[in-house]
Structure 1
């Protein structure tokens, strides 16, 4: 499994969104984009992380950052997740995990002491030119957004 590093070109993607549209990463060029990968909508950790991004969204946007959440969940589940938790940033569906794999966010991980294949909770920040500015893998759901804000110098 290849992970992205600072300076790498972020792999472009076009994926369906929870609101019925599509999102193409390269359409967001010219601004910083926080792309975060999470295992499953409406689970405790993923809900906590999504709500933390929601609660920080205005200040992230004011600093020039867009936020995009990526999971293998189907669009209808993402739509319920967005509605249930008032998530106002795009959630995109990657059911074949091709984007997750290209970004190094899918592969072997430890789950309750066992090695399994799955989504690796990760966050990659893409700069306005489309290059990786920051890549964090195996992040914790709780407290991650606060740590990310510190790492980006936003606090």
Structure 2
């Protein structure tokens, strides 16, 4: 959204980072061919055709201490100094240290001792897996 708000249409299509091999490889230069679309250059990805015809940016979700919904199963409302900010939930086995008191911090899980644990039980224990493999192997043997 900031590109649309802060730049005019001409600037949006022409302002591309300078080609600096010390910062990124030549394949990222504006005049380099865009893979796998070899008929296009990287700078063509800045075309107004995309924002005019294919998509538009949505405003950032907001929340507050009074309304903690961020409108997405992938976000939670983090309240700090009385101000809410919609933030991405932490994945299973991810670090949630300091957020243990926020029930929604983990995606499909809960924060225990600083780590997000999945709400789902382990799919198959090693012993069960070995039993399944042994039964399949023994039943498929040609006699």
Q: TM-score, normalised by structure 2?
A: 0.21
Tell which structure's C-alpha radius of gyration is larger.
2
Structure with more strand by fraction = 1
